[in-house]
C-alpha cells in the first residue's frame, strides 16, 4: 500500500508569509494526526482528525495555525502569518484504528527566516 505522503518536503518562507502543508494519508485510515518537532525538542502532538472531524486540537500552538481535512481524505495545515518560532519539521501520520501503529510521512521541514 502507498504510504503517507507529505509535501512540500522543504519550505523556506519569510516571517509574515503564509505556508500550507499537505498530507495524504493511507487510503482507508480514518485517523490522521499532525505532529511537530522544533529543533532540539521532542516531537509534539498538534491535532487529531477522525475522518473530517477534529477529535483533539489541544496541541495547536495558537490561532495562526489552521488545519482542515477535506472529505476525510487529505489534510492541510496552514500557518498564517508565519513566525520564526514556527520553524521545525511537521510530521503527518495516519492510523487505521487504535492499537495499530501510526504510519508517518517523511515530514515537511519548514524554515521561517
Which residues of the chain form contacts with other proteins (CB under 8 A)?
4, 31, 33, 35, 41-45, 48, 55-56, 59, 91, 93, 95, 98-99, 101-107
Q: Which is nearer to other proteins, 82 or 94 (CB)?
A: 94
**Could you tell me which residues come within 8 angstroms of residue 17 by beta carbon, excluding any fewer than 6 positions away?**
81, 82
Q: Which is nearer to other proteins, 4 or 112 (CB)?
A: 4
Shortest spacing between CB 74 and other proteins, in angstroms: 17
Would you give the distance in Å from CA 78 to the centre of its chain?
Answer: 9
Q: Which is nearer to other proteins, 18 or 111 (CB)?
A: 111
C-alpha cell at 82: 508565519
Task: Look at strands 10-13 and 108-112 and give their pairing.
Answer: parallel
Shortest spacing between CB 17 and other proteins, in angstroms: 25
Shortest spacing between CB 50 and other proteins, in angstroms: 9
What DSSP string describes 19-74?
EEEEEE--TT--EEEEEEE-TTS-EEEEEEEETTEEEE-TT--STTEEEEEGGGS-
Shortest spacing between CB 37 and other proteins, in angstroms: 9
Amino acid at each position: 500500500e502507498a504510504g503517507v505522503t507529505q509535501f512540500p518536503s522543504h519550505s523556506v518562507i519569510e516571517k509574515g508569509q503564509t505556508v500550507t502543508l499537505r498530507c495524504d494519508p493511507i487510503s482507508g485510515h480514518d485517523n490522521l494526526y499532525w505532529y511537530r518537532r522544533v529543533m532540539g525538542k521532542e516531537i509534539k502532538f498538534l491535532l487529531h482528525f477522525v475522518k473530517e472531524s477534529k477529535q483533539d486540537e489541544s496541541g495547536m500552538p495558537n490561532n495562526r495555525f489552521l488545519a482542515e481535512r477535506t472529505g476525510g481524505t487529505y489534510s492541510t495545515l496552514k500557518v498564517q502569518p508565519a513566525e520564526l518560532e514556527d520553524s521545525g519539521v511537521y510530521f503527518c501520520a495516519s492510523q487505521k484504528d487504535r492499537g495499530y501503529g501510526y504510519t508517518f510521512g517523511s515530514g515537511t521541514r519548514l524554515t521561517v527566516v
